[in-house]
Structure 1
Amino acid sequence: MKRLLISVSIAALSACGAQDNSNDIEPDTVSAAETELLLPLPDQTSPAIVSEDLAIRIKTLADDTFEGRGPGTEAGEASADWIAAEMARIGLSPAGEDETFFQTVKMVNQTVDTENSHFQLTKPDGTALPLTPKENVVFWTKHQDKNELSFDATDVVFVGYGSVAPEYEWDDYAGEDFSGKTVIMLVNDPGFATGDPELFKGKAMTYYGRWTYKFEEAARQGATAAIIIHETEPASYGWDVVSNSWSGAQSDLVRSDGGADRAMLEGWITRDTAEELFASAGLDLEALKQQAKSNSFTPVPLEGVKASGKISQSIDQLESRNVVGKLTGKVTPDEYVLYTAHWDHLGKKSEEKTGAPGEDFYQDQIFNGAVDNATGSAALLEIAEAMAADDLERSALFLSVTLEESGLLGSAFYAENPLIPHSQVVAGINMDGALPIGRTKDMVVVGYGASELEDILRDVLVEQDRVIKP
């Protein structure tokens, strides 16, 4: 459990002594947090960090009752209620709006009607490349104010990794005009491809490698549509994750411009599909990938290839919530260490069940999310319970965010609407997807090199005869 253990190690160093009454909460606050819980809280847990406590919390959050913890759904939001009630039970004070454990996050769900929508790539000979939603393509739009959108016959251009990084003297768009064009790009960033630790932090992915950045940058470049080519190793997940995550209802924050600053269509295609498309234009995808490793790369048009699309969608206005509790420090109460983990997952499948009962595992409609991220949410509560029994020097803020699976949106909302001023937060530790593989010699740090907390962690690991791995 690499990511879990790193967080526990650093949390333990942040605490000492016994908690005073400043973190006690009134009985009516506890009962309010426990109102109409769908599942009971643990009967008893220990202030020590132990596997039994983690197990019961993981099992509860991953239970079918919460239907995959979909943000904005009745069952999903009930899991946020459970986390708030558990925060109250273990001794945290409310740190949300109106003296509650909640921060309201306004959101929209957009669902593409795949029967009446399409994304089409036409080869130079005029034939259409076979594209089947979920099988080899997924697509959507971030435009929130229109139920129908369409575009015709745009030119298609390969833009390498789709990154513009002045600090690395890197511009995959080379200052060209991409208005009215469809851009196709690789996943991850050039550092991963080259392995050069001096370039984009090498194998450690930077924000330039994230799909969120790639779609944002394509929009800034004026592209009508933006498509990422999926590959398992640089993405760090298989096509099944792509097809499940980007089908059905897609969630987003309510945006003041209705999403007008985004490309009209965003999506992914499989590597095999991309190879066929590039070959139709007389191009070798693998050779272009080699070219894209250099900052001398310039965009490559897929001559004769055209892209068109139509989206018919439903738009639902909903609300979700971040859950936030705190413990007050004795020495510097206005300084906070922030602990975060997202509570949401993918909810339920949109397709109807098929087959006879018990015939096929995939009849199960619920994405339970035991690893992603009931593990991190359980760790958040476990650390909070341990720290609540101690006498803290600094204060601690425990933030369980929503809408992570849709692009870190609950975190983004909190960053834009902080409940504690950012200037008072001295460090932040995030937990996502503790790996159920047993003890490890190494401990992976996501975003390695960004924090002095790694120096503290390194000292702890030396005592355990272990090492940090970026």
Structure 2
Amino acid sequence: MNYLLTAALATLTVAGAWAQPQPKTTKPRTKIGTTVLPLPGRPEPAVTKGEIEAQMRFLASDELMGRRTGEPGNAVAARYIAEQYRMLGLKPAGDQGDYLQRFSLDKIGAAQSATLLIGTDTLRLGKELVVMAGGPATVSGGIVYAGYGLTDGEEGYKGQDVKGKIVVVQGGSPDAKSPREIFRAANEKRKLATQKGAAALLELYSESIPWGFVNQYFSREQVNLPVAETSEAPVTHLWINNANNKYKQLKENGQAVTLKTSGRSQLSVSTANVAGIIEGTDPALKNEYVILSAHFDHVGVGKQGGSPYQPSDSIFNGARDNAFGTVSILAAAKALSQQRPKRSVLVLALTGEEVGLLGSTYYADHPLVPLKQTIFDLNTDGAGYNDTTLVSVIGLERTGAKAEIEAAAKAAGLSVFAEPAPEQGLFDRSDNVAFAAKGIPAPTFSPGFKAFDEAIGKYYHQAIDNPESLDMNYVYRFCEAYAHAARLIANRTTRPQWSAGDKYEAAGKALYGK
């Protein structure tokens, strides 16, 4: 009910936007021409440029206010996508007999103050400290060191009663390498410390993410999945910059400290993924699913965006990231619903990617179709493009559908570039990784680029990333290639497989029993 009320209020907000002062000046609008009919011999004749352009202009419009997760513009985008599914005749796959997979998130405001006194040293917010979670706290006493703080074993809480005490733990985990893994470990530590009744949790941070980035990130609002499935408030949780093991004395039980912090405000908000099914035609293969995924959220308005902006242009429209991907799954949904493939297809628009891959993480833990029957995820996402002759595929060489993807791109007049910008670690930075971690082969089908250069940086998470700046002919061909790749993969005789030795191969064998 609360989610529907939010969507209704959002719709009223959009409807009244024309009469209200706008946060930025009106951009020049180019006239949308008549719908461009598909050319003879195109691989997916249901995909049309005019329809794609209209969808893009709505999803990346000023009125949706940057589609930030948990805010009205995001709810309007979700409703729009759901109604596109309805128009195409997709079977509702949501949790209440409709297209929405609803879930709650915690919206957490930035801390205003924090200090930690260790002997004669005072550590301060914005310098040596960041506050990750928890309410106001003033607490003094001897610390209890609990290793990584992830278990009740030797490297954790074994033999220690920490109720009402300040717990210190080592940052990360023995296996945490990527940002996603580091944050996941932190969440698990907070959950366990909360269950044990700790007064505060101090984590000694010396991980791969630079401290400057960590400091900047936590000085802004975050949106997270709830750590626990209860209403219990999380323990006050701080990260301490422990570069070069500077505060090693905090690993000594009994070391006296005094902590004072304003904590962080916390508000529960509702959001939703949007899911519809195209049933396959083959009597046996229709029980297997190919997921087509794209995130429809972006970063919002003004300071929410995390990048510089002008007062006259403060809305981060997110045309490239990721209205581009959203119109691609809608184009594929149209093409595949008009001529259904052998396997079933779950068309999945995900929220919360920009605030930590939250929608895909939630889906992977609460799947709408069995994960064991999900043979592939063709994710589409990207920072933009600098080459309109190709598509770039992150994970092309790893996920077992190279031939189908290359054939689809060629049919749309494009080539394929594999594994762009390898130094960026892109495979683990989009929604595909939530599926990969469960064992499902999951590449990301991206607009054409080979490296992060000025052409990418000009628009990536910038307020000028608007529909008017796009090459719509390229968007059309990209959508065609994506839709055709989805068809070829859904019609494969055999399931795609992880490449031998891939880091996710073992998860795949565990999931599928092979």
TM-score higher than 0.5: yes
Once the two structures are superposed, residues 86-115 of structure 1 have per-residue CA deviations (whole angstroms, 9 ceiling, x without a partner) of: 434555343335653223334554435x45
Offset at residue 59 of structure 1 (A): 7.0
Compute the displacement of 1:395 (Å): 1.5
Q: Which of 306, 325, 344 pairs up with 2:297?
A: 344
Q: For residue 391 of structure 1, what is the amino acid of its counterpart?
A: R
* Unpaired segments ≥5 residues, structure 1: 1-31, 143-147, 194-202, 284-298, 354-359
Aligned length: 376
Q: 1:217 to 1:303 in 2, by over 3 A?
A: same
Cα deviation code 1:32-65 (max 9, x no counterpart): 9xx9888999956973799979898677544443
Give 1:309's match in structure 2, choosing from 238, 258, 261: 261
Aligned to 1:398: 347
Pairwise CA distance, 1:122: 0.9
Give 1:451's aligned amino acid: G
- Mapped to 1, the partners of 2:203 and 2:47 lie a distance apart of 42
Q: Which residue of structure 1 lines up, in the alignment, with residue 496 of structure 2? A: 456
1:325 and 2:320 matched: no
Pick 1 or 2: higher relative contact order, CA cutoff 8 A, min separation 6. 1
Match of 2:190?
215
Aligned-partner Cα distance in 1 for 2:141–2:37 = 59
Change beyond 3 A, Cα 1:351–1:107: closer
1:380 maps to: 329
Q: 1:159·1:300 contact (CA, 8 Å) conserved in 2?
A: no
User: 1:243 & 1:185 partners in 2: Cα distance?
Assistant: 21
Counterpart of 1:279, as a letter, is: K
Question: What amino acid does structure 2 have at the position aligned with 1:266?
Answer: H
- Counterpart CA distance in 2 for 1:84 and 1:371 is 21
Does residue 128 of structure 1 match 2:99? Answer: no
SS for the counterpart of 2:216 is helix
2:133 to 128, 141, 144: 141
Conserved 8 A contact 2:206-2:243: no
Question: Which position in structure 2 is the counterpart of 1:185?
Answer: 170
Does 2:382 align with 1:434?
yes
CA distance 1:49–1:309, shift in 2 (3 Å): farther
- Note the 1:81-120 alignment, pairs <5 A: 81-88=79-86, 92-96=90-94, 99-107=97-105, 109-111=107-109, 114-115=111-112, 118-120=113-115
Instruction: Quote the offset at 1:327 in angstroms.
Output: 0.4
**How do 1:267-286 residues align onto structure 2 when only pairs under 5 Å count?**
267-269=238-240, 271=241, 274-275=242-243, 279=246
Alignment partner of 2:231 out of 250, 258, 264: 258
Q: Is 1:345–1:405's contact at 8 Å kept on the other side of the alignment?
A: yes
Indicate if the aligned counterparts of 2:293 and 2:347 stay in contact, CA closer than 8 A. yes
In structure 1, the residue matched to 2:479 is none
Q: Is the 2:325–2:380 Cα contact (8 Å) retained in structure 1?
A: yes
Alignment partners' CA distance in 2, 1:111 and 1:416: 26
**1:224 alignment counterpart:** 199
Report the 3-state secondary structure (helix = DSSP H, G, I; strand = E; otherwise coil) of the residue aligned with 1:257: coil
Structure with more strand by fraction:
1
CA distance in 1, matches of 2:55, 2:211: 28
Mapped partners of 1:375, 1:173: distance in 2: 47
SS in 2 for 1:429: strand
Is residue 47–residue 334 contact of structure 2 (8 Å, CA) maintained in 1? no
Residues 336, 426 of structure 1: 8 Å contact kept: yes
Question: Structure 1 residues 149 and 337, CA, compared in 2 at 3 Å: closer, same or farther?
Answer: same
Question: Cα distance 1:123–1:73, how it changes in 2: closer, same or farther (>3 A)?
Answer: same
SS of 1:311 mapped into structure 2: coil
Deviation at 1:69, TM superposition (A): 1.6
Quote how far apart the aligned CAs of 1:340 are: 3.5
1:5-154 mapped onto 2 (5 Å cutoff): 47=44, 61-88=59-86, 92-96=90-94, 99-107=97-105, 109-111=107-109, 114-115=111-112, 118-125=113-120, 127-132=121-126, 137-141=129-133, 149-154=136-141
Q: Which whole-Å CA distance do the structure 2 matches of 1:238 and 1:62 have between them?
A: 33
TM-score in terms of structure 2 length: 0.55
TM-score calculated relative to the size of structure 1: 0.60
Q: Corresponding residue for 1:29?
A: none
Q: Output the CA distance in 2 between the equivalents of 1:81 and 1:41.
A: 23
**In structure 1, the residue corresponding to 2:124 is in which secondary structure?**
coil
Structure 2 CA distance for aligned equivalents of residues 275 and 423 of structure 1? 40
* Mapped pair 1:171 → 2:179: no
Q: 2:52 & 2:158 partners in 1: Cα distance? A: 50
Instruction: Give the whole-Å Cα distance in 2 for the aligned partners of 1:131 and 1:389.
Output: 57
Q: Which residue of 2 aligns with 1:8?
A: none
Check conservation: 1:103, 1:321, Cα contact below 8 A. yes
- Structure 1 distance, partners of 2:56, 2:310, is 22
Report the 3-state secondary structure (helix = DSSP H, G, I; strand = E; otherwise coil) of the residue aligned with 2:67.
coil
5+ long unaligned stretches in structure 2? 1-7, 18-30, 39-43, 393-416, 421-425, 443-494, 505-514
- Note closer, same or farther for the CA distance 1:254–1:458 as it changes in structure 2 (3 Å cut): closer
Cα distance change of structure 1 residues 241 and 275 upon mapping to structure 2, 3 Å threshold: closer
CA deviation vs aligned residue, 1:13-42 (integer Å, no higher than 9, x gap): xxxxxxxxxxxxxxxxxxx9xx98889999
Alpha-carbon distance between aligned partners in 2 of 1:245 and 1:383, rounded to the nearest angstrom: 38
Cα deviation for residue 80 of structure 1 reads 1.5
* Partner secondary structure for residue 131 of structure 2: strand
Q: Is the partner of 2:85 in helix, strand or coil?
A: helix
CA distance in 1, matches of 2:358, 2:252: 33
CA contact (8 A) 1:162 1:185 kept: yes
What is the rounded CA distance, in whole Å, between the counterparts of 1:376 and 1:387 in structure 2? 16
Match of 2:346, SS? strand
Separation (CA, whole Å) in 1 of partners of 2:315 and 2:199: 34
Deviations 1:163-203, CA, capped at 9 Å, x for gaps: 4499xxx835555444422334324x43467xxxxxxxxx8
Q: How far apart are residue 77 of structure 1 and its match?
A: 1.3
